[in-house]
Chains A and B, each alone.
Chain A
Amino acid sequence: MLAINKLNLTIGDTPILKDISLTIEPGKILGIVGESGSGKSMTALSAMQLLPEGSSTSGSIQFNGHELLDADDALMQDLRGDDIAMIFQEPMTALNPVHTIGDQIAEGIMLHEGADKGAALARTEGLLERVGLPVSRFPLSRYPHELSGGQRQRVMIAMACAQRPDLLIADEPTTALDVTLQAQILDLLRDLVEEQNMGLILISHDLAVVAEMTDEIIVMRNGEIVDQGKTEDILHHTHHPYTAQLAEASTHIPVRSQPPVLSHNAQEAGLAPLIKAQKLVRDYPTKRESLFKPGTPFRAVDHVDVTVYPGQTMGLVGESGCGKSTLARMLLALDTPTSGSIQFNDIELTTATDEQLTTARKNIQVVFQDPYSSFNPRHKVERLVAEPLYLETGLSEAEKRDRVVAALEEVHLPASALDKYPHQFSGGQRQRLAIARALITRPALIIADEPVSALDVSIRAQVLDLLTELRQRLGLAYIFISHDLSVVRALCDEVLVMEAGRIVEHGVASDIFDNPKSDAAKMLVQATPNLERALNNRRAAQKQ
């Protein structure tokens, strides 16, 4: 149906794709995997002929007997949305905010079927029903801003599948969604492939997702295909070293030489908690409901208790909007709780004096998610990493510099980094810089808010190793916030599961993952794509 042969793409003078060849048949799912910048999305956009300006292509893209590289606008417009459809990564921005969802789906139907508006809208109702948005609850007159991210992605799928396309291209369709939603959307896609006998190209950075979904896999790197074949062959025999490396990195578990620090052991040993938060509540005011009725405050964090012992790594997991980050900000004393208490050593953070806060801050440092926005782009590394030294008085410039060099050494960065700007580092190196900045005051606790979520898998594995190593060497405690269970499992001693502002489960990490008790934990564990599980399932299916 679709056959790409020796496709080359350059944008401006930069080669983007080199000798890409692939084919896909009806009813099959082809996965394209690769790290950022590998050319996955560009391959997809080539098939849609929606490449950015300044692109030039060579080779061939055959689709149902048409050569797409030579196709004129009229032909492409006939094919797009009718025979080839596409869904994109970011459901929040992929729909037009000023049109209703009904109009946006009906538009394609009217265009390709020549249907009148009434008929198109009637069909639209059925389509929305099929993707799980029944008209009774989601009337066609809804605007995108009235839907959640997962619902918007369903609308996108309804739109893409309206004409029963022969080929659907899904470019990271679930990356912006929580794992439970991811599982639902992937299920929906799989059902639609079967129902409509269409071909699906699933583009993803997540090997586990691809392993669960696809029949064939293409592994891309730097614009080239490095590995290609049936999913189970590729992942079992991992014939290419890069594929093996990707597979290893996505299931990577740092080696630990110490036993986990468990709360009940610590309690029995009479250890004092490092940080102990009790009955924490944080309310946010909301918009007025009407002229005469103020909005009911939104409770982001609801009576949460957190205790972390010295050297302990506490995982904090939950879906987006469950209150994880708000909790973290309160523990960092960046936000004041509505009620409750936070004891750090002997200091009560909610009522601390400036001097006490300084002591506490020296001991609680933070690493953020996005390595690109973690640093003031106008300062050099020396100044960036030294920022928390503001908490220590009486240091000379030379002493500060020495401390920065020492901190860089801890994260395995050379002293030559001092005079560079943050944009001169890669994402992984920046995350090392962020860790160096957190280490410079020699803290007892580091709160890491999704520290590896924005990183490619291979770099993620390195950063996890570094965090483990530092924990052992410096006796650090971590509060590790993540939506990614596999990462939490790899690193944490104990885990707190959060849902709608509450802690719904607390326990030893391995227990929670192997044997979740609360519904929230069960859902999370089940929905999390798992490479090993996917492979085992496939193996079992093959044996039958």
Chain B
Amino acid sequence: MSAFLKTALRNKSFATGFVITCVVVLMAAISFVWTPYDVTDLDIGSKLKAPGWAHWFGTDHFGRDIFSMIMVGARNSIAVALVAVIIGVGFGVPLGCWAAARGGLLDEALMRGNDVIFAFPALLSAVMITAVFGPGAINAIIAIGIFNIPVFARLARGAALSLWPRDFIMAARAAGKTKTRITIEHIVPNMANLLIVQATIAFALGIIQEAGLAYVGLGTQPPLPSWGKMLNEAQTMMSFAPHMAIIPGLAIVITVLGLNLLGDGLRDVLDPRLTRKRD
């Protein structure tokens, strides 16, 4: 692993993305034990302060410290996007592999099912879920997660279909191995690179989507701070406290940029055409 990191860090995209991602994750982790101010502390006396020494990123209309809110918000963004990716991978990859291994009608049916889900962008699912169950962070996770399923299912199916006719799979079949076993032993490990790259991208997209849902009130609910919610609150204060809108937005942009760079870097680093000569 450390040998891999050493090679990978020579890739500029990967290195930049890796550092940014680490900082964001670290910030989220630290927020569990320490934040400069308590995010539930309302201090009307120091409301709408511009960024300065006491409050690095300034304060909001309730006098809450924006830096602390960004830290806690990172937690929320990461959690939602990560669980949504896990849902996407957890359901999508087995479905895609299953479709590819079985083929025929099952394959057709599963892929048509995917098309149906593709017609429901996360926002629409979230709208429906919220209309039925009321608002909450879980909605965002489910809505984004559901949309991730066909993304990973398609990717896994495509990769598996290109692997199945390969001779080494034939050899495994000639050794009497079952399709399930071959999928686990040969198919999935050989698509792992693709999945890792796609997972990073889906993670980044998840953060944007979560922010969007929270912004329109379909995601995380107060009092827990979230980046999207902060933007929503900032909207009416734009003319006199632009920092309230600029800072959470920058947090999103930097995090997403970091993840995308990480994904791009991974794609290059993991590309078998380039790594053939490794080890």
**Are A376 and B190 within 8 A (Cβ)?**
yes
The interface residues of chain A lying within 8 Å CB-to-CB of B119 are: none
A437 at the interface (CB under 8 A from B): yes
Asked whether, in the complex, the Cβ of A368 is within 8 Å of the Cβ of B167, the reply is yes
B167 touches A390 (CB 8 A): no
Nearest CB of B to A332, in Å? 5
Chain B contacts for A434, CB-based, 8 A: 171
What separation, in Å, do the CA atoms of A215 and B250 have in the docked complex? 71
CB <8 Å contact, A388 and B189:
no
CB of A390 within 8 A of CB of B175, answer yes
**A421 nearest CB neighbor, chain B only:** B279
The CA of A463 and the CA of B171, in the complex, are separated in Å by 19
> Which B residues are in CB contact (< 8 Å) with A369?
167
- Give the complex CA separation of A467 and B190 in angstroms: 31
The answer, yes or no, to whether B195 is at the interface (CB within 8 Å) is no
Q: Which of A362-376 contact B (CB under 8 A)?
A: 364-366, 368-370, 373-376
Question: Which residues of the partner chain A approach B272 to less than 8 Å between Cβ atoms?
Answer: 377
Structural contact, B176 and A357, CB atoms closer than 8 A: yes
* Extra inter-chain contacts (8) besides given A365-B174, A373-B168, CB under 8 Å: A334-B173, A361-B176, A366-B170, A366-B171, A376-B185, A377-B272, A388-B174, A421-B279
A374 and B174 in contact, given A421-B279, A423-B276 (Cβ under 8 angstroms): no
In the complex, the 7 A-B pairs of residues with the closest C-beta atoms, listed nearest first: A368-B167, A388-B175, A374-B167, A373-B166, A373-B167, A376-B168, A390-B175
Q: Which residues, 176 to 192 on B, are CB-close (under 8 Å) to A?
A: 176-177, 185-186, 189-190
The reply on B138 being an interface residue by CB < 8 A is no
State A387–B168 Cα separation when bound (angstroms): 10
Chain B residues 182 to 219 lying within 8 A of chain A, measured CB to CB, are 185-186, 189-190
Complex interface: chain A residues within 8 A of B172 (CB): 387
**Chain A residues, CB < 8 A from B176:** 357-358, 361, 390-391
Given A368-B170, A421-B279, the answer on whether A390 and B177 have CB atoms closer than 8 Å is yes
A-B contact pairs, 5 of them (CB 8 A): A361-B174, A361-B175, A368-B167, A378-B189, A390-B177
**Shortest CB distance A357–B (Å):** 7
Q: Contact size class for A?
A: 20 to 34
| Complex interface: chain A residues within 8 A of B167 (CB) | 368-370, 373-374
Contacts of A368 in B (CB 8 A): 167, 170-171
Chain B residues contacting A332 (CB-CB under 8 Å) are 174
Contact B168 A391 (CB under 8 A): no
Interface centre among B173, B177, B272 (most CB of A within 10 A): B173
Q: What is the bound-complex CA distance between A107 and B258, given in angstroms?
A: 47
Q: Distance in Å from the Cβ of B172 to the closest Cβ of chain A?
A: 6
- Which of A365, A374, A421 touches B168 (beta carbons < 8 Å)? A374
Q: What residues on A are CB-neighbors of B186 within 8 Å?
A: 376
| Complex-state Cα separation, A83 to B266, whole angstroms | 46
Contacts of B168 in A (CB 8 A): 373-376, 384
Q: How far is the CA of A214 from the CA of B168 in the complex (A)?
A: 40
B174 adjacent to A366 (CB under 8 Å): yes
Check if B175 sits within 8 Å of A391, measured CB to CB.
yes
Closest to B192 in A: A378
Contact code string A338-365 (vs B, CB < 8 Å = 1, else 0): 0000000000000000000110010011
A366 to B173 alpha-carbon distance, docked (Å): 10
Chain A, Cβ-Cβ closest to B172:
A387
Interface string of A401-438 (1 = CB under 8 A from B): 00000000000000000000101000000000010010
